[in-house]
Structure 1
């Protein structure tokens, strides 16, 4: 059975209205979609939140796809098995719509294709029939799902022997009871996180061991990112002062540079100041980090709220500038509260 990340887990909003229910017996088609003309750069739960914001903005009840599959092979619940989708006119009842989260000419990964195929097989089992394999353009005049995915659908949706990746938050094999993130990020063209492969993964593991954060390895470290790498990296993140979602064991640019001294990859990263901590920002705070933040907001084009400065004393102009920057990343709600965290800081100084 395919592991599906629930709406509650990825942080879906309440439905904007109530989607109609659809009996599985009415499903006859399986539609594959993509995100359109532009490549997807978001990862993890941010993919779903961006789709949700777009679809609610269009007046829909929420995410219109029944499921979404990311490049790491994770499967996210949208409308799920039992609700009517909003993905292909005249086919939302008969069709189960699945978006593979790529756009433009992005190449779908083997993990993504395998998970999509696994969803198809499960859909056939649940409905008791062989569903027709279709691309979005087979039901509606559109370029979706793009040339690469459409060719894959027409070839029969082959997935080879690849096994879909476990979902984020799964239990570590061996009964430790710990819960770890199983997502990936891409930094300078290199993948980090569960299932990532390469010499750069070995170098991260070796650096963790050298820094005293290797206790979860029973062998290696090696060239494939495992739960042990995630747990060791999480301990390293916590040593830097990160907590909560910022210490999930999946590298960010700032922590990776702290560990390695520089960022490997296709593009050399410019040096940037380390995140000084959340306690440096907010009402009543006055320090050099506030000045540095404001100056960078101005450089990036988010300084219109300043009437003077920026300066060392935190002001509403600082908060509104940070909020505008966060919203430009596609963040909403508490993700765009105007107070910088490690991810906001990293992206602002990128």
Structure 2
């Protein structure tokens, strides 16, 4: 893992804090606690994990997600309380410790991606705190089975992560082959390119570079996050076109990007949200396109686990169960979690 991409609370859809936790200076952090989810395996990845944790912690009377960060099996890192807020993960250690949950449970094996992401997060925590933080499992601060035998053994072994290398400081420059790698972004047709840019358009650039024979700096495939590897590969492509100096620093210009892709991509305007079609379109015996639209959005939001053959157009008990889980995960809907969408359920689902 060469960089930490932390998915913000706003991105995964966190609710406003129910009484914002106290702010904590990073200089007070001295420990890094690893947690797991509990006794059962966790099969989901993505935003649904965070919404489920949030609903659970709000149900316990907490302000929201109690961990500072959560890491799923795909290696995604999600913001909970972040770097600057007091956690609720380990009594007597919520100020001195940063709490990170790896979203597995029981005897489940943590993935290499999850371990690498957690180790990268640890290195970043040490850098921000200005000291080496003690590596600990939850049970080191409070009598519990957490983080389970496998994660705890990993922590006690020093948190190894294969060929993991600490991420470079995004604020500086990374020397490579005696030269500094350019780290800035440009915007072309509403899309960002350069270090830290993110999106399918970044992946497309990387794939085209590989097709042209300019992919030697990739170690795990191109995109969707623009890294130093993209810059170095793009720089070689620019030089092949005869560019020199600043024009060949690895950051796209309109001319070179058009030469690579054939045309300049532009930012796609988001589709308008569909209006609520009415309660009479849902429930037993109903069959229409609105049921399909509902089911597809539930899947996108991470609430499609009860489908066995895909959503819609005929209403089924799978639709009801998925809608009910979505309602229970949102406090403003949980009081009437009947599994039938009303205007508020629809509005929140498509927000």
Give the TM-score band, short-chain normalised.
0.5 to 0.7
Number of positions where the alignment pairs a residue of Structure 1 with one of Structure 2 = 235
Give the deviation of 1:41 after TM superposition. Answer: 2.2
Tell whether 2:138 aligns with 1:118.
no
Relative distance call for 1:181 and 1:71 in structure 2 (3 A) is farther
Among residues 301, 324, 329, which one is paired with 1:327 in the alignment?
324
Q: CA deviation at 1:179?
A: 2.7
Partner of 1:101: 103
Matches within 5 A, 1:310-325: 322=320, 325=322
Aligned partner (choices 120, 126, 141) of residue 139 of structure 1: 141
Alignment partners' CA distance in 2, 1:28 and 1:137: 16
Task: Check 1:172–1:105 CA distance in 2 against 1; reply closer, same or farther (3 A cut).
Answer: farther
Q: Could you say if the C-alpha distance between residues 83 and 129 of structure 1 is closer, same or farther in structure 2, counting changes exceeding 3 Å?
A: same
Show the 5 A alignment for 1:153-192.
153-162=155-164, 179-180=199-200
Match of 1:127 in 2: 129
Q: Retained in 2: the 8 A contact 1:115–1:164? A: no
Structure 1 consecutive aligned stretches of length 4 or more whose deviation exceeds 4 Å: 162-165, 171-175, 216-220, 224-228, 240-248, 333-337
CA distance 1:2–1:102, shift in 2 (3 Å): same
* Cα RMSD for the two superposed structures: 4.3
Partner of 1:63: 65
SS in 2 for 1:30: strand
Q: Tell me if structure 2 keeps the 8 A contact 1:33–1:100.
A: yes
Whole-Å Cα distance in 1 between the matches of residues 199 and 299 of structure 2? 13
Q: Against the structure 1 CA distance between its residues 274 and 95, is the aligned structure 2 distance closer, same or farther, given a 3 Å change threshold? A: closer
Aligned counterparts of 2:57 and 2:305: Cα–Cα separation in 1 = 30
What corresponds to 1:15 in structure 2? Answer: 17
- State the SS of the aligned residue for 1:99: strand
Distance across 1 between alignment mates of 2:54 and 2:133? 27
Counterparts in 2 of 1:111 and 1:325: CA distance versus 1, 3 Å: closer
**CA positional deviation for 1:158:** 0.3
**Aligned residue for 2:312?**
275
For the pair shown, the structure with the greater C-alpha radius of gyration is: 2
Per the normalisation by structure 1, the TM-score is: 0.56
The answer as to whether partners of 1:69 and 1:76 remain within 8 angstroms in 2 is: yes
Does structure 2 retain, via aligned residues, the 8 Å contact 1:180–1:227? yes
Q: Which ranges in structure 2 are unaligned for 5 or more consecutive residues?
A: 168-190, 212-219, 225-270, 272-288, 343-351
Partner Cα separation in structure 1 for residue 192 and residue 299 of structure 2: 17
CA change 1:273–1:9 in 2 (3 A) is closer
Closer, same or farther in 2 for the Cα pair 1:180/1:39, shift >3 Å? farther
SS of the counterpart of 1:275? coil
TM-score by length of 2: 0.56
In structure 2, relative to structure 1, the CA distance for the partners of 1:146 and 1:181 (3 Å cut) is farther
